[in-house]
């Protein structure tokens, strides 16, 4: 079976807590991330916001031109507009009304198309989707959707899409980096599918590798989420380098767009 290495890349005007600690843009970090993966002939899927393509078009074009990179969609604004915030207040959904969500999906696809980039894979920012998301993505020509964290998740078909779950512990929620210190985690009430603990880079890497091996042994595609921003902030890509080395020697790897039902 195969491994999919994936990451999410955001526009700097989003002003996330991670970005406060960075000395480069997320797209710049993604280029370095992809270059490291390329050293080991490991393909990576990077889900990029449409706004990042608007703010850094030449860098995004450079990223997309790399032979080992697949670009996927990651919403346009990452739910940071008044429409998103107002709709969340009214309904609890981050995605906005169905017509707005449909428009935003297509706006994202069109923005990448203007740069000569075709996207067929998608991950919503922070895994936030609603009942309309998958049908709207399928309608817009998206074929693969990686938007669920599930430890025992398997690739499946649903709503006209190939659904590729993240089935290893995501770095942002479980790796000490930037603001996510032991003190922060101790005071935070986060609880996800992989529990509530964060780990130091070497321990997190061992956890991820064990999760990959378990998924592959069970006959499933192993999907890993390693953000370029988290990887640079945690230990200047040392763990990511080791992960790529391990994947290249022990497993087959591919892009999300190549994932198929087992």
Residue range of the domain that includes 53: 2-258
CATH number, domain containing residue 97: 3.20.20.370
Number of domains in the chain: 1
Quick check: 148 pLDDT over 80? Answer: yes
Q: pLDDT category, 262, cuts 50, 70, 90?
A: confident
pLDDT of residue 178: 97
How high is the mean pLDDT of the chain? 97
Q: pLDDT category, 259, cuts 50, 70, 90?
A: very high
Reported in sequence order, the residue ranges of the chain that DSSP labels E, i.e. its strands, are 2-9, 44-48, 69-73, 121-122, 144-145, 156-158, 161-163, 222-225, 252-253
pLDDT in tens, 68-94: 999 999 999 999 999 999 999 999 999
User: Is residue 237 a contact partner of residue 30, using CB atoms and an 8 Å limit?
Assistant: no
Quick check: 45 pLDDT over 90? Answer: yes
pLDDT of residue 89: 95
For residue 176, report the phi and psi dihedrals to the nearest 5 degrees.
Answer: -65, 125
pLDDT in tens, 149-176: 999 999 999 999 999 999 999 999 999 9
- Please choose, from the candidates 42, 7, 3, the residue with its C-alpha nearest in 3D space to the C-alpha of residue 215: 3
pLDDT in tens, 172-193: 999 999 999 999 999 998 999 9
- Please choose, from the candidates 66, 25, 74, the residue with its C-alpha nearest in 3D space to the C-alpha of residue 47: 74
Percent of the chain whose pLDDT exceeds 70: 100
> What are the beta bridge partners of residue 166?
149
Q: Say how far apart CA 70 and CA 67 lie, in whole Å.
A: 8
Quick check: 1 pLDDT over 80? Answer: no
User: Is residue 242 a contact partner of residue 204, using CB atoms and an 8 Å limit?
Assistant: no
Torsion of CA 244, 248, 251, 252, to 10 degrees: 110
pTM of the model: 0.98
Quick check: 24 pLDDT over 80? Answer: yes
For residue 141, report the phi and psi dihedrals to the nearest 5 degrees.
Answer: 100, 5
Quick check: 247 pLDDT over 80? Answer: yes
Please state the rounded mean pLDDT for residues 221-239: 98
């Amino acid at each position: 079976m195969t491994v999919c290495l994936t990451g999410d890349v955001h526009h700097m005007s989003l002003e996330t807590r991670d970005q406060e600690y960075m000395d480069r843009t997320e797209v710049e970090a993604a280029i370095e991330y992809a270059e490291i993966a390329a050293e080991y002939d490991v393909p990576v899927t990077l889900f990029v916001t449409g706004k990042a393509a608007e703010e850094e078009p030449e860098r995004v074009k450079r990223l997309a031109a790399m032979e080992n990179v697949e670009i996927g969609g990651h919403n346009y604004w990452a739910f940071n507009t008044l429409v998103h915030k107002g709709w969340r207040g009214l309904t609890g959904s981050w995605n906005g009304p169905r017509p707005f969500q449909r428009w935003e999906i297509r706006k994202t696809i069109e923005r990448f198309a203007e740069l000569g980039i075709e996207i067929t894979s998608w991950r919503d920012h922070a895994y936030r989707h609603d009942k309309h998301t998958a049908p709207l993505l399928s309608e817009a020509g998206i074929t693969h959707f990686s938007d669920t964290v599930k430890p025992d998740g398997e690739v499946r078909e649903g709503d006209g899409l190939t659904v590729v779950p993240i089935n290893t512990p995501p770095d942002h929620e479980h790796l000490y980096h930037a603001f996510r210190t032991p003190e922060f985690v101790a005071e935070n009430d986060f609880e996800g599918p992989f529990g509530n603990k964060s780990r130091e880079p070497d321990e997190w890497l061992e956890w991820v590798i064990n999760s990959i091996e378990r998924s592959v042994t069970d006959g499933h595609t192993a999907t890993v989420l390693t953000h370029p921003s988290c990887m640079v902030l945690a230990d200047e890509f040392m763990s990511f380098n080791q992960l790529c080395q391990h994947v290249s020697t022990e497993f087959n790897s591919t892009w999300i767009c190549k994932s198929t039902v087992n």
